[in-house]
Structure 1
Amino acid sequence: MDPLSEVLSLLKLRSYLSGGFDANGDWAVQFGAHDGIKFHAVLHGRCWVLVEGVPDPVKVSEGECFLLAAGKPFRLASNLAVEPVDVRTLLPQVHDGRVVTYNGGGEFLSIGGYFTLADGQADLLLSMLPPLVHVREEPNRATLRWCVERMRQELSDVQPGEFIVAQQLATLVLVEVLRLHLSNERRESVGWLFALSDKRMRAAIDAMHASPGRRWTLQTMAEQAAMSRTTFALRFKETVGLSPMEYLTRWRMMLAAERLTHSRDSVSEIGLALGYESDKSFSTAFKRVMNCSPRQYSRQQKAGTSDANVALRPQ
C-alpha cells in the first residue's frame, strides 16, 4: 500500500453524500462550521465561494469542485451582494430528503458531501491542506467527472446499496482532488503529502512505510533515494519539514497507536515489531510523540477519553 493510502486508512476515513442544492435567481446561503472535510461539485451553473478567514472569494463553474478542509463557516452565492440565508432554514424544503431547493431551482445545481476522520489524528491530513482547494475543469479530469456524474445519478435514482456506492464514489473524489492538488502545488510547499510528488523522497517514504520495523539508518534511507547521506538528509528536511528519523518515528507511533487501540498485542510485541529492542526505548519514543506512555494511551482509548494527537508535520 502506498503512503497516501496508508494514511487515509489509518485516519479511518468515512465519507457521506449529504445531498444537493438547487437554486434559481440571485441567492446566497450561509453554512456553519463543520468537522472533517466538506466537498461540493457544481453540476450546472456557477457560484461564488467565500470561506471565513480566506480574503478573496473563489468563482466555481460548472464541472468544477472544491474541498473545504479547515472546518470554517462558508457561503455559497450567485451574487456576493445578496444577504445570505442560513442553510438550516431551507432544510424543511428538501426534496425527497436529498435536494435543498431555493427560489424554485433550475439555474444552479451542486452536490456535496463530507468526510469524517479518526479522532486525534485528523490533523495529519488537514494540516497539509489550505482552507479551500479549488479543482478547475480540465480535459484530462475524466475520472473526477465520472465520479461526480455517478454521484448525481445515485442522488436522483435510489437503488439498493446506495450508501456504499456513494461512500466509495466520494472517497474516489477526495483521492482525485488530493492528487490534482499535489500536481498543481508549488514546489516550495513543505510536508509529507507534498514530498510524495518528489520521486526520490517518495522512494524513501515508500520504503519506510513498507518496513517500519527495519533497523533504519540515515545511510540505508539515503540508499532508497539513491542519494548521499548528507544530500538526502538536507533534501528530506527541506521537503518534508522533519528529519528522516523524526519522520520514521512519527510514522511508527501512528502505527503503534492504531495497534494499541484495535489489537490485542502487548506493548512489547508492538514495540518489537516497530524496531524497538526494549520496552523502555519504545515507551520513551512513544511518550515523546504522544505525550503519554503506550499503556496510558491504550487505557485512554479503551475508555474513549484520549485526546492524543500524532501529526507528520513540523512542530
Structure 2
Amino acid sequence: MSSVSMDPLSDVLALLKPKSYVSLGLDAGPDWAIDFPPPQGIKFNAVLSGGCWLEVDGVEPIRLEEGDCFLLTQNRPFRMMSDRSLPTIPANDIYAHAKDGVAICNGGGTFFLVGSRFGFSGAGANLIVGILPPVVHVSEHSDQASVLRFAIDQMARELRGQHPGGFLMTEHLAHIMLMQILRLYLSAPDTEGTGWLFALADRQIGMAIGAMHAEPARRWTLQQLAAMTGMSRSSFAERFKEKVGAAPMDYLTRWRMMLAGERLSNSSEPIGKIALSLGYDSESAFSTAFKRVMARSPRQYSREAAG
C-alpha cells in the first residue's frame, strides 16, 4: 500500500483487503418469510424490485423498498419477509437449491434482492465493523443514493445473464457498493458516532488523520498536527479525542502497527527494516509498541500469519 495516500478510508479498506465471498440473488413470490443465520463479516444487500421487512435481533424492524440498500455489520441473525405475521423458513432450504446464482422462494416474480458477504483480512477488521451500527440502511430516496443504481442494476444483469467474467464483475461491483454505502452513511446529517471513520467527516480532524496516514514514519508532534488544522494544541487534542475516541499519538501508533501487521503477514521483510520504515530508531522500541497494541510480539504475529 502506498504511503502517500491522503484518503484514510481507502487506506483502511486496502489494508483489510475486503473480499466478496458470495454474490447471490433472491427471487421471491407474493408471500414469503426467511430466517437467516448470523453473517460472518459484513453482509451487503440491495433490493432491485418489490419490498419487504428486515428484522435484526436488537434492532427495530426496517421497511425496505425498491432501490434500498443495507449493510449488516455484526454477527446477528436476521429475518426478511413480505409480511411480518408469516412463519419463517430457514434460508438454507432456499439457497441450497440456488441455480445460476439465484435462489427462488415461493415461485418468485414479486421481489428480487442481490447480496454479497465481505470478509476482512488481518486483526484490524474492527476498524470498520467495530464502530458501525448493526444495520446501515440507505434509502433509495436519500441524497446521492441514485449513484448506486447503476452498480445494482449491473449486478442483477450479471447474476441473471451468465456473462463471461460475471463472477469477477459482481465482486468488483460489490466493492463499489460497499464503499458508496459507507460514503452515504457518513454524509448523512443524522449520523453520529465516535471513531476514525466518523472523524473523517470533520474537516480539521480528517485533515490530521489524512496527514498521519500519508506519512506514518514522520515524527509527528501534537503541535505540528494542531498547527496544520489551525487549532491550538489543547483544543486539537480535546477535539481529536472526542471525535476519534483516542489521543492523536495513540491513533498514530495504532495505525503504524496495523501497517506493520500487514507487512509481517504478507512479506519477508526483516523486522528491523519495518521498524525503521515506520519511524522507530530501534527494533526493540518497535517490538515494545507492537506488543502493546497487537497483544503479541512481531515474531509471534508473523508466525501466526504464516500458520
* Residue number in structure 2 paired with 1:53: 58
Residue 30 (structure 1) shift: 0.5
- Is 1:118 aligned to 2:121, yes or no? yes
Residue 90 (structure 1) shift: 1.6
Query: Over aligned residue pairs, what C-alpha RMSD do you find?
Result: 1.4
Q: Given the alignment, which residue of 228, 237, 243 partners 1:239?
A: 243
Residue 209 (structure 1) shift: 0.3
- Is 1:34 aligned to 2:39, yes or no? yes
* Residue number in structure 2 paired with 1:212: 216
Q: Matched residue of 1:97: which SS?
A: coil
Q: How many residues align?
A: 301
Residue 119 (structure 1) shift: 4.0
- Is 1:192 aligned to 2:196, yes or no? yes
Q: Matched residue of 1:76: which SS?
A: strand
Whether the 8 Å contact between 1:207 and 1:224 is mirrored in structure 2 is no
- Is 1:103 aligned to 2:106, yes or no? yes
Aligned partners of 2:41 and 2:192: how far apart in 1?
Answer: 26
The 5 Å alignment of 1:1-315 reads 1=5, 2-54=7-59, 56-94=60-98, 96-138=99-141, 140-184=144-188, 186=190, 188-303=192-307
Q: Matched residue of 1:204: which SS?
A: helix
TM-score (norm 2): 0.94
Unaligned runs of at least 5 residues, structure 2: none
Aligned partners of 2:140 and 2:179: how far apart in 1?
Answer: 16
**Structure 1 counterpart of 2:284, which letter?**
K
Aligned partners of 1:78 and 1:279: how far apart in 2?
Answer: 59
Aligned partners of 2:146 and 2:96: how far apart in 1?
Answer: 35
Query: Deviation string for 1:87-139 (max 9, x for gaps)?
Result: 11123542x33211112111111111111111422111101111111100126
Question: Structure 1 residues 171 and 207, CA, compared in 2 at 3 Å: closer, same or farther?
Answer: same
**Structure 2 counterpart of 1:220, which letter?**
Q
Aligned partners of 1:224 and 1:270: how far apart in 2?
Answer: 27
Query: Deviation string for 1:51-75 (max 9, x for gaps)?
Result: 1222x11000011111111021110
Aligned partners of 2:189 and 2:246: how far apart in 1?
Answer: 19
Residue 144 (structure 1) shift: 0.6
Whether the 8 Å contact between 2:73 and 2:129 is mirrored in structure 1 is yes
Aligned partners of 2:73 and 2:302: how far apart in 1?
Answer: 29
Aligned partners of 1:188 and 1:112: how far apart in 2?
Answer: 26
Residue 17 (structure 1) shift: 4.4
Whether the 8 Å contact between 1:30 and 1:74 is mirrored in structure 2 is yes
Whether the 8 Å contact between 2:114 and 2:156 is mirrored in structure 1 is yes
Residue 25 (structure 1) shift: 2.0
Q: Matched residue of 2:104: which SS?
A: strand
Question: Structure 1 residues 161 and 187, CA, compared in 2 at 3 Å: closer, same or farther?
Answer: closer
Unaligned runs of at least 5 residues, structure 1: 304-315
**Structure 2 counterpart of 1:121, which letter?**
G
Identity across matched positions, percent: 49
**Structure 1 counterpart of 2:54, which letter?**
V
Residue 24 (structure 1) shift: 1.5
Whether the 8 Å contact between 2:100 and 2:162 is mirrored in structure 1 is no
Query: Deviation string for 1:6-42 (max 9, x for gaps)?
Result: 1001111111442111112221000111211111111
Q: Matched residue of 2:219: which SS?
A: coil
Aligned partners of 1:89 and 1:240: how far apart in 2?
Answer: 43
Whether the 8 Å contact between 1:48 and 1:77 is mirrored in structure 2 is yes
Q: Matched residue of 1:159: which SS?
A: coil
Question: Structure 1 residues 187 and 132, CA, compared in 2 at 3 Å: closer, same or farther?
Answer: closer
Aligned partners of 2:119 and 2:189: how far apart in 1?
Answer: 24
Question: Structure 1 residues 17 and 302, CA, compared in 2 at 3 Å: closer, same or farther?
Answer: closer
**Structure 2 counterpart of 1:125, which letter?**
I
Whether the 8 Å contact between 2:131 and 2:193 is mirrored in structure 1 is no
